[in-house]
Amino acid sequence: MARPDKEAAVAEIADDFRTATATVLTDYRGLSVTSMKQLRRSLGSTTKYAVVKNTLTKIAAKEAGVDVPSELLVGPSALAFIKGDPFVAAKSLRDFAKENPLLVIKGGIFDGKAITAAEFFTIADLESREVLLAKLAGAMKGSLAKAARVFDALRIKMEAGAPGAPVAPVAEVVAEAAVEAAPVVDDAPAVDAVVEEAAPVVTEEVLTQVDATDATVEEKE
């Protein structure tokens, strides 16, 4: 490769490293041209899959400030520069590798850190952030709806002049609602803060409403 061409190639690869949300290094030996085309189609337009010489990868990675372990630069390499959702692309690579054993996952760079092949497959088995947030939203919606029904029943009792309901059952309902949402959050540690912030707000509003209701009942008595 002529020097100008080499410099241009390094600059392009370095830019791919900088703009990628994740990069996966693979060994493609034995894959046919047709299989390579199928792989690129499965990855979609947000992932660039290209055969790159290890020497160029090493130089470009250094230029981009990315640390690629030397053990990943052994044998022929093809790099998947993921520009979209890394979880979606990882699943596509995983599924293709299962159907085509000749594609070997070496490892890669995820969130700026080097990962092994085993860690890659762990990531590929995780659900995307959007899916986890959707599940969390669904769980919270159901929990809040349940709490709303309890509040409505309490209001009706108060309007009918029934004795003030104790605070404990209401708090238990809120706690139960949080427990129902917990299984969804197990797979998304980063979303724990959302649940922890949401629960106290609901509880405070409940206690305020109950205190106000009790005061009204006492005045009537």
Domain that includes residue 172, residue range: 129-220
pTM: 0.59
Same-domain check for residues 76 and 151: no
Helix (H, G, I), strand (E, B) or coil at 211: helix
Per-residue pLDDT of the chain (221 residues; tens, 9 = 90+): 777 789 999 999 999 999 999 999 999 999 999 999 999 999 999 999 999 999 999 999 999 999 999 999 999 999 999 999 999 999 999 999 999 999 999 999 999 999 999 999 999 988 755 555 665 676 676 667 677 777 777 777 777 765 544 545 555 544 555 555 454 444 444 434 433 444 444 444 444 454 554 444 444 44
Using one digit for the tens of pLDDT, what is the confidence trace for 191-202? 344 334 444 444
Number of domains in the chain: 2
CA separation, residue 159 to residues 156, 164, 204 (Å): 5, 10, 22
Using one digit for the tens of pLDDT, what is the confidence trace for 81-91? 999 999 999 99
Same-domain check for residues 21 and 96: yes
Which of the 8 DSSP states describes residue 22?
A: E
Kindly report the CATH number assigned to the domain that includes residue 74: 3.30.70.1730
The DSSP code sequence of 59-97 is: HHHHHHT----GGGSSSS-EEEEE-S-HHHHHHHHHHHH
